[in-house]
A = this chain, B = another copy of it.
Amino acid sequence: MGRGFVTAEEVAKRAGVSRSAVSRTFTPGGSVSKPVRRKVLKAAQELGYRVNRLAQGLNNDRSNLIGVVGSNLSSPFISRQLDLLSIGLLRRGLQCLLLNAADARKDIAPLIELLFEFRAQAIVVLSGEPPASIVDECIANGVRLILINQRLDRADTNMVLSDDSHGAHLAAMRLIQAKCNKVAVVSSGSQTPAQLRRVSAFTQHMNSESIEVVAWSGGPTSYESGYRAGCELLLDKSIDGAFCVTDLLALGFLDAARLEMGRIVPENLSIVGFDDIPQAGWKSYQLTTVVQPLDTLTEKVLKALDSDEPETRLQLVPVTMVERTTAR
């Protein structure tokens, strides 16, 4: 096709061989004699020939394209996820077709349909919940679907997610250890399943310990929302602990606590976050938080990409707690 791209036929002509000889030369397993290969390579070099992978995939039935859809691509957590994922894909010889779901927000179906049209071999969903009909279509067409931090109630989909409940329990235990009497749990207004799981597991744990918890949620998942939460919640002087279900929220909350509400952290307020984004480790923050091991998470995603084993349907990635300085 195309503007000016050289075709295999032209190369064949110049090298004085058949079209298939050219094809074979550029096919890993192809059986071509040294001299022919040399001639082909020479001609290709001179002409500036590049195989057309699109045409290649037409026969192969493997496009080598992996669709990646997600929103919030510039948030510290997601961007790192995308970074690792795209590196891993490239290493495996796979191409990353990135679809930003920012405009789609609630309905990522059209994006996935687009991916179908490009014959993506697999689709990785970083955020957003695909409707059941789409999931069905994936299966019908043999397109592997991998959901990250999303739990669908069906056994035929690949899901890899952090152990949110356990993470929330760790946070709860840490705040109990800090001897908190009344704690806040803050989440964003977007109410993603992951955040919901963290909030509910945390609340449940605290309730069982008879510790009062006040829930706050609002705005997007951002520093600003956390800051607002801090300003509003900390008017209540009796709150002496907080679990922010996302580091971004936690950092905003922390700034509000110290800089706006006159709290001393951790002396009269303990804060625990979730994710362990780079900023959580910055000297001004030193946030105690639950870490999602992004590398192993990504690894599992990549493995789910090429392994056919159905045992790896739902993979729960264990989380840990990193102790820094914001919890007493």
Residues of A within 8 A of B (CB): 1-5, 48, 50-55, 57-63, 68, 73-76, 79-80, 82-83, 86-87, 89-91, 95-100, 102-103, 113-114, 116-119, 137, 140-143, 223, 227, 251-252, 255-256, 258-260, 278-279, 282-285
Contacts and interface: CB of A to CB of B under 8 A. Distances in A.
Contact of A223 (B61, B258, B278): B278
Nearest to A26: B117
- Determine which residue in A61, A68, A100 has the highest number of CB atoms from chain B within 10 A of its CB, and name it: A100
16 contacts: A1-B58, A2-B141, A2-B142, A3-B61, A4-B140, A5-B141, A53-B117, A54-B57, A73-B82, A74-B79, A75-B79, A79-B82, A87-B102, A223-B282, A255-B284, A258-B284
Contacts of A97: 95-98
Contacts of A117: 50-53
Contact of A283 (B79, B96, B227): B227
A59 to B, nearest CB: 7
Contacts of A59: 1
A54 B118 contact: yes
